[in-house]
Amino acid sequence: TEVQPIEPMFINYDEALSQFDIKGLNVLYVQNKLNDLVGLNYEFNMGTRNDPALSLAARYLQYLGTPTRSAEEIAQEMYQLACSFQIYASNIYTNIYISGLAENMPKAMNIVEDLIYNAVPDENILENLKADLLKERADAKLNQGSCFSALQNYIFLGADYVKMTTLTNEQIKSLTSEQLLGKIRDLMSCTHEVSYYGPATADEVTVLITENHKIADNLKPLEKTLLTSAPTPSSKVYLAQYDAKQIYYLQYSNKEEKLDIASDPYIRLYNEYFGGGMNAIVFQEMREARGLAYSAWARLIEPEHANDYYSYFAFIATQNDKMKTAIQAFDEIINDMPESEAAFNIAKEAMMTGIRTQRITGRNILSSYRSTREMGLTEPRSKKIYEVLPSLTLEDVKATQDKWVEGRTYHYGILGDIKDLDTKYLRTLGPVQTLTLEEIFGY
């Protein structure tokens, strides 16, 4: 039975959300017309990239009470209000998120802000948190996935980034309650953006925030510190020791190519065709046809903000003794891409279907708008992609591979048991640097 394709719906941000100012704070507002639930977020342009202790500070605060409420009483009261809160720090941002029933948001906001400003230190809790964190760090070095993530960060962002964003174990041990609690408290006097998703009208949200969110009279500005990936001007190999019979291998390239929106349809289709999933060329060639990898993928990674760069990233998990063959085979298909009309048609149809069926609704409108804004754009990128996609052919994918991928210079990263690896072969790829786990983790 033939069915009519679902028509795509592209969000119009001017209609889907509104913005207004409250005492110097920008508020992003989307009305929830489905139920009485609210999501309220304060986002600060300050993260672990600026202060690596923020993550521990956020964890610590959520275990504490105030002079008028114990931690248990706060948890019980929030539960009775059908509300909850989280404080968490990422690389770039720190977020304070409060959610729950709309009618109880004023009380929930007051409880959370009372905790932020008036938390009572508990040295036993802090020492336990430090011990937990040190144990988590030690355990991470025993986990192959965690070690590989650390190696990726080291290669993608550089040794200076690792040092800048990681506390040593001694630094963690020396942190005091006042230092940690002061970090979150001080944020409240800085500029931040408020996002609201809930049933209230814009006027009601203005009243809610004005009456229940303590906004400093003279907010301190916070400059956003965006991350950019490290360039790869020449080939290099990074080795990190991990005792296993399987290696994790990556190759990464950054030619410092800036955002090119016009290339979106071509790059997205190349990624879907070449490295997108189980039907893609990489998986079919490396695992199914040649049996050289447990898992494998590759793609051209798009910039995360307007001033970031494109980078190419390829990954293989394979046996130690298959490393050389797997790397050579991967290099072969990356630089001389196999062409399959059947695989191309599957990739193209998958992209068309994905765009047709995508719906950005609810709270997702806010995150979608913010990511679009980071690119300096005013409408979703998928709209332009969908307009161009039907006309693209396998020749366009091949041309994209020729323009963006073929002949790139790579940094290679290998996590595995070095004594089992062909290091003589690795030196043909570029100078080899052996890294310790302390170097890639930063502790």
In angstroms, the CA 183 to CA 348 distance is 49
Q: Which residues contact 78 (CB under 8 A, 6 or more apart)?
A: 84, 85, 100, 108, 111
Q: What is the pLDDT of residues 100-120, one digit of tens each?
A: 999 999 999 999 999 999 999
Give the pLDDT mean for 41-70: 97
Instruction: Answer yes or no: is pLDDT of 381 > 80.
Output: yes
In angstroms, the CA 363 to CA 113 distance is 23
Q: In percent, how much of the chain has pLDDT > 70? A: 100
Least confident piece of the model among 262-276, 287-301, 397-411: 287-301
* Sign of the C-alpha dihedral computed for residues 226, 227, 232 and 233 taken in this order: positive
Give the pLDDT mean for 162-171: 95
Q: What is the pLDDT of residues 426-443, one digit of tens each?
A: 999 999 999 999 999 999
Instruction: Answer yes or no: is pLDDT of 134 > 80.
Output: yes
Could you tell me the two tokens for 431?
A: 């100078």
Q: Is 240 helix (H, G, I), strand (E, B) or coil?
A: strand
Q: Please tell me the predicted confidence (pLDDT) of residue 223.
A: 87
The residue to which tokens 């990556």 are assigned: 250
* Sign of the C-alpha dihedral computed for residues 332, 399, 281 and 238 taken in this order: positive
Size of the chain in residues: 443
pTM value is: 0.91
Instruction: Answer yes or no: is pLDDT of 276 > 80.
Output: no
The residue to which tokens 């114990």 are assigned: 70
* Strands (DSSP E) found in 50-200: 83-89, 94-101, 193-198
- Place 415 in a pLDDT band, splitting at 50, 70 and 90: very high
Q: Please tell me the predicted confidence (pLDDT) of residue 220.
A: 96
Cβ-defined contacts of 141-150 (< 8 Å, 24+) = 141/437, 141/441, 144/242, 144/244, 144/246, 144/248, 144/415, 147/240, 147/242, 147/415, 147/437, 147/440, 148/248, 148/250, 148/415, 150/437, 150/440, 150/441
Least confident piece of the model among 3-7, 42-46, 212-216, 257-261: 3-7
Q: Is 347 helix (H, G, I), strand (E, B) or coil?
A: helix
Concatenate the DSSP letters of all residues of 177-212 into one string. HHHHHHHHHHHTTB--EEEEEESS-HHHHHHHHHHH
**C-alpha distances in angstroms, 404 versus 72, 93, 228?**
56, 31, 19
Chain center to CA of 72? 32
- Place 5 in a pLDDT band, splitting at 50, 70 and 90: confident
Strand partners, 18: 29
* Sign of the C-alpha dihedral computed for residues 397, 398, 403 and 408 taken in this order: positive
If one counts every other C-beta atom within 10 angstroms of the C-beta of residue 329, the result is 20
Helices (H) and strands (E) in the chain, counts: 19, 12
Q: Please tell me the predicted confidence (pLDDT) of residue 181.
A: 97
| Radius of gyration (C-alpha) of the chain in whole angstroms | 25
Q: What is the pLDDT of residues 181-206, one digit of tens each?
A: 999 999 999 999 999 999 999 999 99
- Place 278 in a pLDDT band, splitting at 50, 70 and 90: confident
Mean pLDDT, the chain, whole residue set:
96
Q: Checking DSSP bridges between strand 432-435 and strand 311-319, what pairing results, if any?
A: unpaired
Give the pLDDT mean for 230-239: 97
In angstroms, the CA 368 to CA 50 distance is 25
- Place 130 in a pLDDT band, splitting at 50, 70 and 90: very high
Closest CA to 246 of 329, 298, 321, 313: 321
The answer to whether residues 430 and 262 touch, using CB atoms and an 8 Å cutoff, is no
The answer to whether residues 214 and 288 touch, using CB atoms and an 8 Å cutoff, is no
**Torsion of the alpha carbons at 283, 286, 291 and 296, rounded to the nearest 10:** -60
Q: What is the pLDDT of residues 284-339, one digit of tens each?
A: 999 888 888 888 999 999 999 999 999 999 999 999 999 999 999 999 999 999 99
Q: Please tell me the predicted confidence (pLDDT) of residue 288.
A: 85
Q: Checking DSSP bridges between strand 311-319 and strand 295-301, what pairing results, if any?
A: antiparallel
**C-alpha distances in angstroms, 162 versus 19, 25, 91, 159, 170?**
36, 32, 11, 5, 16
Q: Please tell me the predicted confidence (pLDDT) of residue 238.
A: 98
Q: What is the pLDDT of residues 77-102, one digit of tens each?
A: 999 999 999 999 999 999 999 999 99
Could you tell me the two tokens for 156?
A: 């993608």
Write phi, then psi, for 316 (nearest 5 degrees).
-140, 140
According to DSSP H, which parts of 158-284 are helical? 159-165, 169-174, 177-187, 202-212, 264-275, 281-283
